[in-house]
Amino acid sequence: MPHHRSRLILWAAVAAVALGFGFPTESRAADAKPPNILFIFSDDHAFQALSAYGEARNLLDTPNLDRIAREGMLFNRCIVPNSICGPSRATILTGKYSHLNGFYNNSNSRFDGSQTTFPKLLNKAGYSTAIFGKWHLRTDPTGFDHWHILPGQGAYYNPPMIKNGKQVKHEGYTTDIITDLTIDWLKNRDRSKPFLVMSQHKAPHREWEPALRHLGHDNDRDYPEPETLFDDYSGRGIAERDQDMTIEKTMTPRDVKLVAPRNLTPEQRKKWDAYYEPRNEKFRQANLSGKDLVRWRYNRYMHDYLGCIKAIDESVGRLLKFLDDEGLAENTIVVYSSDQGFYLGEHGWFDKRWIFEESLRTPLLVRWPGVTEPGSTSDALVSNVDFAETFLDVAGIDVPDAMQGRSLVPLLEGNKPDDWRDSFYYHYYEYPRPHHVRPHYGVVTDRYKLVHFYGPDCDYWELFDLKNDPHELKSVYDDPSYADTRERLTAEVQRLREELKVPETEDPLASGGRRRQPPKKPADKKS
């Protein structure tokens, strides 16, 4: 039976079982309606800050997000090909790596909206399509019947937005506003069509400004510190040592709320000051330095960042309730993810960018009633480069050959194909601003990472063994006992580069138009 014919029968089966009709015949399948898709997306949501993942520090409870995992599937190993906001969004839309979709970095890339994207294909196939919230691709959205987006990074409070090309202004907290807009569109959509709606939050992006109702949500908790908060970067090269993304040196007064946002209303500012100013004055009087100062910043960071997550979790709860109340839940796939992971003090860092775990891994929760077993998990190596293919597959639309990912539908159905990937290619470009993280590429497996750092003053390889070194503190590239692993992964990274059509010489726009050098094959010894 053709693949998409079987998908039609699956849709009908889900609907029929939900209505108590039993399994459908093929004739009934012809009348089946493809599933709706609700894609909820956040910016910089660390998997460590989602309680369904059971992170050891127990930073925050996220009951509504956890509900998606409880009623669907939690992916333990969803990773990204380029850990930075805009490129990740371009990958999701196109199902392609940065070097093929043309969006390498946040500095000067512009998304080519004329290229094929999954919303365009869904729209052409009869889906109503809409996007709300953060877009961050510098050109107007295409492929959507309706769009209402934040310009650039957007603001946390009282955000200007762009509605189908027209500038508008809102008052309130941006996470709440994006949710309101999403629900309003769902209420007024064309009910004769299935829908794709992308509800995309600014939060918890820097500067991590919580909703005013969440100020003090943690009762001035002292948060458990990550083991590597005071990492000295020994055992690794210049790239890890010579970066600019530490809590100690990089965080600004606005990051830690010693400076208030500029666009608060007088009433909002009064509530802001009532919480922060007494605590800020206490901090000033303490005159902290060294590790004590880092710890104070870390705890302020956690209060603010996790406060932003609380609003996202509430938003997810509102959307799930709407689906329940409207009778839409049984035929709607709900997907929650983020554009990449984020550092919550690990290695002394915030931000993302690196091939290392906290940056590389992103949350992925999927609920598909009648198809995905509730409470299931997957350890398969998956990626946001697979999202476009997955959405097209569930809609019964042929996946273009040019897309580079793979549909997650078999995994969601509880079957891991024998030929599922066991290695993954990663490539980060943006340098030197804003955080001075060297360009690098590499290969990731369930246990190892081989990575090449390169640039005008940097050309070396590192190898990490996650089983023996889960915090990635020491490269074993030069260790003779890893010679076979190094040789195997060197061959694998070259195979992946060829398969994915990675150019040997980078586009000058890839690293902001600055000096770059072509990637090199590793020598026998680390240089």
CATH number of the domain where residue 146 is located:
3.40.720.10
**What is the pLDDT confidence band of residue 11, given thresholds at 50, 70 and 90?**
low
Do 340 and 403 sit in the same domain of this protein? Answer: yes
**What is the pLDDT confidence band of residue 518, given thresholds at 50, 70 and 90?**
very low
Q: Residue range 515-522: average pLDDT?
A: 49
Q: Looking at the domain assignment, is residue 206 inside a domain?
A: no
CA 192 to chain centre: 32
User: pLDDT at residue 517 above 80?
Assistant: no
Name the more confident of 517 and 504. Answer: 504
Report which of 271, 251, 250, 248 is spatially closest to residue 261, judged by C-alpha positions: 271
pLDDT in tens, 471-497: 999 999 999 999 999 999 999 999 999
Do 289 and 156 sit in the same domain of this protein? Answer: no
Do 176 and 56 sit in the same domain of this protein? Answer: yes
Domain count, the chain: 4
Do 66 and 26 sit in the same domain of this protein? Answer: no
Do 1 and 51 sit in the same domain of this protein? Answer: no
Which helix (H) or strand (E) segment is 50 a member of? none
pLDDT at 522: 62
User: pLDDT at residue 523 above 70?
Assistant: no
* Cα atoms in the 13 Å half-sphere on the side-chain side of 135: 24
Q: Looking at the domain assignment, is residue 201 inside a domain?
A: no
Do 236 and 322 sit in the same domain of this protein? Answer: no
pLDDT in tens, 278-307: 999 999 999 999 999 999 999 999 999 999
Q: Looking at the domain assignment, is residue 514 inside a domain?
A: no
pLDDT in tens, 403-417: 999 999 999 999 999
Q: Looking at the domain assignment, is residue 333 inside a domain?
A: yes
Do 232 and 334 sit in the same domain of this protein? Answer: no
Which helix (H) or strand (E) segment is 64 a member of? helix 63-70
User: pLDDT at residue 3 above 60?
Assistant: no
Do 141 and 73 sit in the same domain of this protein? Answer: yes
Name the more confident of 1 and 112. Answer: 112
- Record the pTM: 0.93
Name the more confident of 21 and 463. Answer: 463
Do 49 and 169 sit in the same domain of this protein? Answer: yes
Out of 27-31, 136-140, 153-157, 361-365, pick the least confident.
27-31
Domain-ending residue, one of 412, 437, 456? 412
**What is the pLDDT confidence band of residue 456, given thresholds at 50, 70 and 90?**
confident
Q: Write the burial class of residue 328 (CB in 10 Å: 0-12 exposed, 13-18 middle, 19+ buried).
A: middle
Do 169 and 114 sit in the same domain of this protein? Answer: yes
d(CA 525, CA 474): 16
Q: Looking at the domain assignment, is residue 522 inside a domain?
A: no
Q: Looking at the domain assignment, is residue 176 inside a domain?
A: yes
pLDDT at 505: 85
pLDDT at 2: 39
Domain that holds residue 231: 212-301
pLDDT at 239: 97
pLDDT in tens, 163-201: 999 999 999 999 999 999 999 999 999 999 999 999 999
pLDDT at 23: 38
Q: Strands of 440-444's sheet, edge to edge?
A: 424-428, 440-444, 448-455, 458-465
Which sign does the torsion angle of CA 335, 424, 91, 461 carry?
positive
Q: Residue range 100-128: average pLDDT?
A: 97
The amino acid sitting at 168 is V
Name the more confident of 527 and 453. Answer: 453
